[in-house]
Amino acid sequence: MFVCLYFLNFLSVCLFFVTLYRQKGQSRREACVVACLVFSAQVFFFTEGQSLFNLLKTPVPSAVLYAVSLCAFSIGTALITNRSARRNNSRLPRKREGKHYFYPVLITVLIFLPMLFVAVYYPPCTWDSMSYHLPRIDHWIQNGNVNHYPTAYPRQLYYQPFAEYLMLPAHLLSGTDLFDNLIQFAAAIGILIEIILLVRFFGGSQPVQTVAVLMVLTSPTVIFEIPTTQTDLIAAFYFLAFLYFGLKLTCRQAAWLNADAAAFALALGLSLITKVSVAVFELPFCVWFGLRLLKLYGKNVWKIYAALVLCFLIFNVPYYVRNYSLTGHIFGPEDIQKTMRNTRFGPDVMFSNAVRLVGMQMKVPLLDINAANLNFIKNLHDTLGMMWNDPTTTFYGDGDIPFEYDIEFHLDDYRSGNILLVLLFIIVCGTFSVRKIKPLFLPEQNSVRSEPENKDLTVMFWLVLLGFLLYAGLFRWQPFGTRLLLPDLLAGVPFLTIGLCRIVPLKRIQQLCPLLLFIAVVYTAYIVITWSFYDPLSASGSVVPDKDSKPVNGQQKVDFQFQGIELSAEYYTNDLKGLQRYWFERDYKYFRQAKTYMAEYMSIADRMTELNCTKIGLALDKKNDRWEYPLWALLRSRFAKTGRKFRVEWVVFPDELKQLRNYPPDFVPDIILTDLMPEEITNRYEIGEPIWKYETNSMILVPIKGRTKQ
């Protein structure tokens, strides 16, 4: 399979840098982080390069590029290995800490192996993935490039695209979404490596590093996002890489200046093209790092500054140009920017959003406690004369009403809180206000490198806190804000771990490890159980189409006539085979988070397959948050049996999108899927009588006779 070249290339890059760093006497963990950054840059250049020539339509060009890269890095590894073997006698032995494999093995077996199974066996099924993360990938492949295309769902165009760039090669080379979830899976492993590096940088021994890793895994947001195609773990990985290499450059003279500066610049550029909110968390560190670099390197600092500016421009300018050329703004149209940022600013806005964000993190399974939490927030706002649910600072989404503060306890990838980490932060900060928290130092490190200043860890904490406050002051509060804060929250884990080691003896902290591991395993087991033993047929609450089943007693058979073809739709309620169908048929798994969508979308796909419609138009209202991606996935699985290809295009969209390179002026669909009034598409196409209606009449299929004369 072509997709093997993508993952083998990634492994070859990792092996190359591990071999290179070992020869230079550098950390292998650090080599893995650098390898991920270099591989990410490679994916960016390959994707943008192919896009210039419309080469993303077929997997062959990508396969050739990744095969060439695989060979190049493999040859490089062999050359370094041979050179290292000749110089082996002159290399000084490195001091190593004792190896502790107990918790790494448990974490791998109890958490990452089950997550690997879920990531591969279950398809993407989150709301954002179905709405805009994955549809944009299929449109890019269909168009052959990553330029903007006509759509009524603006998030598919204007949001930072790099997380989807990483998924694109696996999606293109395999022809399925089977491996799309593995990008976040790899990012989670990278985050744990970075946390170890950061804790070690401040002197944390291996037991302290283990505590930090387990703290990260007690975050339900981290666990629940591992087997998904969300983007927060990817953004957190680049942000933590930015912090680590920034600290290496600014807290001491770098032993390998050019390599550290390049990794620092790559991490900054890649993080900004992945998620815009990361820029807010990085801004305080950019100021601090900039001043420290100037003080430490003097006139030579211009090289580092130039690398930072160059990487920022290279990775972000193509995205900015596409948005600016279409809307006049580098982040997209003004209306979509207003859905995310506050429309007024000030200390009161920052305080209100910060309090609500912390409150969302503190939810527990007891509704009475959550209600008391909400009442406290309301009373605090009333006391200070502020509106607790201010529409100018509260997220609307695609609707017209701001989201309410939800007191329900959720365990999912976008609403779960991180109560344990927040409580530990409160404890450490309370102690921090009484006495300073200094870094720990390994005895063997003192003779190898200079120690970070005692204030560095404290400054890092204050900058993490400042990033949180800036986020609260700039971005609207939303019930999904816990995952958007994930990069900043994880950046505080080193301070939290070192602080606990200063407050409590290490032996007592190590006694927490089994409890922390147990919490992470419980979250993992919850995912495996709820995803595996979930019957969408009975849970959907509605009938499900199945051509092989018999009509249910008392239920009518619906017949349609279209182009001489008789179509039948027989509906049935759930039977005992529902769970088995879910286990063995991938199509059902897309609707785990939206059970009521399943019957509608699967029936639509069945009707389109019966009609053999290969040109499909979409005219959907984005305010209803229609899922576009299941249509691609279901049609792909059905048309694969016939060997025919299909094409999906939006036919109702803003008129300014007609100037795009990917606008197909001659496209006439065979059929249109719409939830709009037919009058909105009759000015473009001559339509026939609807041939399919779902029982709720929310979406209909309309045959197209041709283009109207205008």
pLDDT tens sequence across 264-294: 999 999 999 999 999 999 999 999 999 999 9
Ranges 22-31, 239-248, 251-260, 680-689, most confident: 239-248
Position 83 confidence tier, pLDDT thresholds 50, 70, 90: confident
What is the average per-residue pLDDT within 461-467? 92
Q: pLDDT at position 38, please?
A: 97
Report pTM: 0.92
pLDDT score of 162 more than 80: yes
Question: Does residue 600 lie in a domain region?
Answer: yes
Ranges 81-90, 283-292, 383-392, most confident: 283-292
As a whole-number percent, the residues of the chain with pLDDT over 70 amount to 85
Neighbours of 212 (CB within 10 A): 25
pLDDT score of 389 more than 90: no
Q: pLDDT at position 560, please?
A: 41
Question: Does residue 688 lie in a domain region?
Answer: yes
- What does the alpha-carbon distance between residue 479 and residue 370 come to, in Å, rounded to a whole number? 14
What is the average per-residue pLDDT within 685-699? 70
Question: Does residue 587 lie in a domain region?
Answer: yes
Answer with the residue of higher pLDDT: 471 or 99. Answer: 471
Amino acid at 608: M
What is the average per-residue pLDDT within 535-541? 50
Q: What is the CA radius of gyration of the chain?
A: 27
Q: Is 452 exposed, middle or buried (0-12, 13-18, 19+ CB in 10 A)?
A: buried
Position 623 confidence tier, pLDDT thresholds 50, 70, 90: low
Answer with the residue of higher pLDDT: 539 or 466. Answer: 466
Q: pLDDT at position 409, please?
A: 87
pLDDT score of 625 more than 90: no
pLDDT score of 667 more than 80: yes
Q: pLDDT at position 686, please?
A: 85
Closest CA to 390 of 372, 403, 379, 380: 403
What is the average per-residue pLDDT within 61-73? 96
Question: How many domains is the chain built from?
Answer: 1
- What does the alpha-carbon distance between residue 579 and residue 186 come to, in Å, rounded to a whole number? 30
Answer with the residue of higher pLDDT: 450 or 127. Answer: 127
Q: Is 360 exposed, middle or buried (0-12, 13-18, 19+ CB in 10 A)?
A: buried
- What does the alpha-carbon distance between residue 584 and residue 104 come to, in Å, rounded to a whole number? 32
Q: Which of 295-309, 344-358, 515-529 has the lowest mean pLDDT?
A: 295-309
Closest CA to 244 of 260, 225, 232: 260
Q: pLDDT at position 643, please?
A: 78
Position 148 confidence tier, pLDDT thresholds 50, 70, 90: very high
pLDDT score of 694 more than 60: no
Q: Which residues contact 313 (CB under 8 A, 6 or more apart)?
A: none
Residue 604 near residue 692, CB atoms below 8 Å: yes
Q: pLDDT at position 433, please?
A: 62
What is the average per-residue pLDDT within 76-85? 86
- What does the alpha-carbon distance between residue 578 and residue 537 come to, in Å, rounded to a whole number? 6
Q: Which residues contact 610 (CB under 8 A, 6 or more apart)?
A: 565, 567
CA angle at 377 for the pair 430 and 486, rounded to the nearest 5°: 60
Strand partners, 559: 568
- What does the alpha-carbon distance between residue 486 and residue 415 come to, in Å, rounded to a whole number? 12
What is the average per-residue pLDDT within 582-598? 81
Residue 361 near residue 311, CB atoms below 8 Å: no
Q: pLDDT at position 579, please?
A: 65
Question: Does residue 460 lie in a domain region?
Answer: no
Position 449 confidence tier, pLDDT thresholds 50, 70, 90: very low
What is the average per-residue pLDDT within 483-499? 91
pLDDT score of 577 more than 70: no
Domain housing 686: 537-707
Residue with tokens 């400042």: 466
Ranges 445-454, 606-615, 680-689, most confident: 606-615
pLDDT score of 94 more than 60: no
Question: Does residue 582 lie in a domain region?
Answer: yes
- What does the alpha-carbon distance between residue 260 and residue 248 come to, in Å, rounded to a whole number? 7
- What does the alpha-carbon distance between residue 239 and residue 96 come to, in Å, rounded to a whole number? 28
- What does the alpha-carbon distance between residue 578 and residue 576 come to, in Å, rounded to a whole number? 6
What is the average per-residue pLDDT within 355-379? 91
Q: Which residues contact 131 (CB under 8 A, 6 or more apart)?
A: 153, 155, 625, 626, 627, 628, 629
Q: Which of 22-31, 33-42, 366-375, 684-693 has the lowest mean pLDDT?
A: 684-693
Q: Which of 91-105, 108-122, 223-237 has the lowest mean pLDDT?
A: 91-105
- What does the alpha-carbon distance between residue 617 and residue 624 come to, in Å, rounded to a whole number? 17
Position 486 confidence tier, pLDDT thresholds 50, 70, 90: very high
Residue 237 near residue 132, CB atoms below 8 Å: no
Phi, psi of 543 (to 5 degrees): -75, 155
- What does the alpha-carbon distance between residue 609 and residue 93 come to, in Å, rounded to a whole number? 66
Q: pLDDT at position 535, please?
A: 57
Closest CA to 490 of 216, 197, 104, 285: 216
Strand partners, 571: 545
Position 438 confidence tier, pLDDT thresholds 50, 70, 90: low
Closest CA to 494 of 450, 449, 463: 463
pLDDT score of 8 more than 70: yes
Question: Does residue 579 lie in a domain region?
Answer: yes
Q: Which of 22-26, 37-41, 482-486, 559-563 has the lowest mean pLDDT?
A: 559-563
Q: How far is CA 522 from the centre of its chain?
A: 23
Closest CA to 251 of 401, 396, 456: 456
Question: Does residue 258 lie in a domain region?
Answer: no
pLDDT score of 537 more than 60: no
Q: pLDDT at position 437, please?
A: 58
pLDDT score of 546 more than 60: no
Position 446 confidence tier, pLDDT thresholds 50, 70, 90: very low
Q: pLDDT at position 434, please?
A: 59
Mean residue pLDDT of the chain comes to: 84
Question: Does residue 515 lie in a domain region?
Answer: no
Q: Which of 237-251, 260-274, 501-515 has the lowest mean pLDDT?
A: 501-515
Ranges 166-170, 206-210, 526-530, 643-647, most confident: 166-170
- What does the alpha-carbon distance between residue 128 and residue 108 come to, in Å, rounded to a whole number? 28
DSSP H or E segment with residue 707 = strand 700-707
